[in-house]
Amino acid sequence: MPLALYDAWSRTLRPFTPLQPDHVGMYCCGPTVYDHAHLGNLRTYVFEDVLRRALAANGYTVRHVVNITDVGHLVSDADEGEDKMEKGSRRTGESAWAIAERYTAAFQQDWRALNLLEPTVWCRATDHIAQQIDFIAELERNGYTYRTADGLYFDTGRQDDYGYLARLDVSGLQAGIRVAVGDKRRATDFALWKFSPPGSTRQMEWDSPWGVGFPGWHIECSAMSAQYLGPWFDIHCGGEDHIAVHHSNEIAQTQARHGTRLANFWLHGHFLMLDAGKMAKSGGDFVRLQTVIERGVDPLAYRYLCLSAHYRSSLRFNWDALHAAQAALTRLRSAYVKWPVGGEADAAALTRFNAEVDQDLNLPRALAVLWDVVRSDLPPAVRRATVDRFDAVLGLRLAHWREDAVTIPPSIALLAERRLAARVAKDWSEADRLRGQLNTAGWQVEDGAGGQVLRPLD
């Protein structure tokens, strides 16, 4: 079966054919580096990494571009409030430039801990101010801009199909519902260039034909994607929260300058949910990957958790789910490491696995095929070779894992200590209950003359 992907523009599952034979251009909206990324942000990058791997598995060479937003993203998508970088500077006492460097490095550390393939291009907004100014100037020449007291704005009223990606009812939008209007002509208009506030000096500001200021958030992606992929490329990705504003505005700008909707396919990852709602920095209730690591959980267990749900469905996060993912990953590694090298992959299993991946990245069903192979009576060397092929897409680094590298998570060690205390107190029912908890978490406990020994379950 050919690769098929869900395109948010057409809202259909479409067979994928690249615009150029054997080559794919893919742009992924990167982080705004005013703070650490949280697990919800990282879920989107895991989905995009699997997409890139699936494209490679289908024989395509992928040019993968990821931006770093280090200026221009205001605290509200409505072009209100201060720049997030300036806000981060005020919060920490560091310069906006230092914050950008620190959080970019932290993000890229998370990226590598999750075994995400390095992009072909990392591009920073502040390194492409000239390209953004040129883009805005062309929009101005084409009659799509107007000036207000605080900036230069894009006139969405010039486009009858503005907001088609999100199926926005533009005529039904009332001032103050979606965004505050202020001096804008209509609620959907958005900033291309913001003027520095009178009487103050921003840390990040540039001269422009319209005055000293800084670019809006949306223009950077239109300008940089066109710079590295051209104004009409294969795939644009991001989170589902980008659809209504950021991606709709990217499309509007590119239509106004180049006459294209920028990308042939628009793909979006869905939210990671907490019990109280989606994980978001604005709510102050978010979990970092470093928190996962400090709790003794392998970051690739979080990757496994992400693979367990379809990218277009919400995934609920809690620590029990993450520990279950770690237990499953431990069982997989323990089985894999015992299989000898030198076999040939099983063709039937590969066909089944690829069919699931190629059906809009159906990773839950692809994982089911993997576990069928793990539990099968195929020769061990064949199982290893087959799972190696699967892992080229899954990205769990099975071939790099060594059993002697196993560490016992603190939460598991605590359960084991409580069980040992129960045995010393001859509270056999409590000891058995705690053994059951350890087993559920993927660990077996053995009692011997030397004391209690913990091992991952096979």
- For residue 397, CA distances in Å to 53, 175, 382, 387 come to 13, 51, 18, 11
Task: Report whether pLDDT(454) > 90.
Answer: no
Q: What is the mean pLDDT of residues 280-305?
A: 84
Which tens digits make up the pLDDT trace of 17-41?
A: 999 999 999 999 999 999 999 999 9
Rounded to an integer, what distance in angstroms lies between the CA atom of residue 74 and that of residue 217? 7
Per-residue pLDDT at 178 exceeds 70: no
C-alpha 49 chain-centroid distance: 8
Average confidence (pLDDT) over 333-345:
94
Nearest-CA neighbor of 280 among 453, 36, 10?
Answer: 36
Residue 28 or residue 174, greater confidence: 28
Mean pLDDT on 253-281: 87
Say if residue 182's pLDDT is above 80: no
In 3D space, the residue among 3, 4, 13, 20 whose CA is nearest the CA of residue 58 turns out to be: 3
Which positions ≥6 away from 87 have C-beta within 8 Å? Answer: 34, 75, 81
The pLDDT value given to residue 396: 98
36 CB-side CA count, 13 A:
13
pLDDT band at residue 441 under the 50/70/90 scheme = confident
User: What is the Cα–Cα distance from 175 to 314, expressed in whole angstroms?
Assistant: 31
13 CB-near residues (< 8 Å, 6+ apart): 4, 5, 6, 7, 360
| In the predicted structure, residue 328 carries a pLDDT above the cut 90 | yes
pLDDT score, position 112: 96
* CB hemisphere CA count around 294 (13 angstroms): 5
Average pLDDT over residues 52-65: 98
| Whether pLDDT at 56 is above 60 | yes
Q: State the distance between the two ends of the chain, measured CA to CA, in whole angstroms.
A: 34
Judge contact between 95 and 89, C-beta under 8 A: yes
Please, which pLDDT band fits residue 280 given cuts at 50, 70 and 90?
Answer: low
pTM here is 0.86
The pLDDT value given to residue 400: 92
Q: Over 60: is that where the pLDDT of 405 sits? A: no
**pLDDT at residue 174 tops 50:** no
Q: Report yes or no: 64 and 120 within 8 Å, Cβ to Cβ.
A: yes
Q: Supply 37's token pair.
A: 């990324």
Pair 305, 322: CB distance under 8 Å: yes
Q: Is the pLDDT of residue 450 over 60?
A: no
| Whether the Cβ atoms of residue 392 and residue 404 lie closer than 8 Å to each other | no
Is the pLDDT at 94 greater than 80? The verdict is: yes
b/e for 53-91, b at 16 or more Cβ within 10 A? Answer: bbbebbebebbbbbbbbbbbbbeebbbeeebbbbbbbee
Quick one: pLDDT at residue 451? 61
pLDDT at 140 over 80: yes
Share of the chain above pLDDT 90, in %: 74
Average pLDDT over residues 236-259: 97
What contacts 386, CB < 8 A, 6 or more positions away? 343, 345, 346, 349, 350, 373, 378
Helix axes 248-258, 129-141, angle to 10 degrees: 60
Q: How confident is the model at residue 47 (pLDDT cuts 50, 70, 90)?
A: very high
Angle at 107 between CA 246 and CA 117, to 5 degrees: 90
Residue showing tokens 């200026």: 71
Question: Which candidate, 134, 159, 188, 179, places its Cα nearest to that of 252?
Answer: 159
Query: Taking the CA atoms of the chain, what radius of gyration do you get in angstroms?
Result: 25
Residue 20 is given by DSSP the state B
Q: What is the pLDDT of residue 285?
A: 60
Q: Is there a contact between 393 and 57 (Cβ–Cβ < 8 Å)?
A: yes
How many Å apart are CA 263 and CA 237, to the nearest integer?
Answer: 9
β-pairing verdict for 121-124 and 145-147: unpaired
Q: What is the DSSP string of 42-92?
A: HHHHHHHHHHHHHHHHTT-EEEEEEEEB-S--BSSTTS-S-BHHHHHHHHH
Structure tokens at 457: 């379950």
Nearest-angstrom CA–CA distance, 292 and 287: 8
Angle, helices 347-357/39-57, rounded to nearest 10 degrees: 130
Q: Is 41 or 174 the better-scoring residue by pLDDT?
A: 41
Find the largest Cα–Cα distance for the chain: 84
Check residue 177 and give its pLDDT: 44
Best CA proximity match to 3, nearest among 74, 52, 72: 52
Overall average pLDDT of the 163-168 stretch: 94
* Residue % of the chain over a pLDDT of 70: 92
Residue 442 gets which letter from DSSP? Answer: T
In the block, residue with structure tokens 């107190």: 425
- Higher pLDDT among residues 381 and 176, named by residue: 381
Residue 417 to residue 454: CA distance in whole angstroms: 11
So what's the pLDDT on residue 210?
Answer: 97
Higher-pLDDT residue of 388 and 420 is: 388
Query: Residue 151 pLDDT > 60, yes or no?
Result: yes
DSSP 210: T
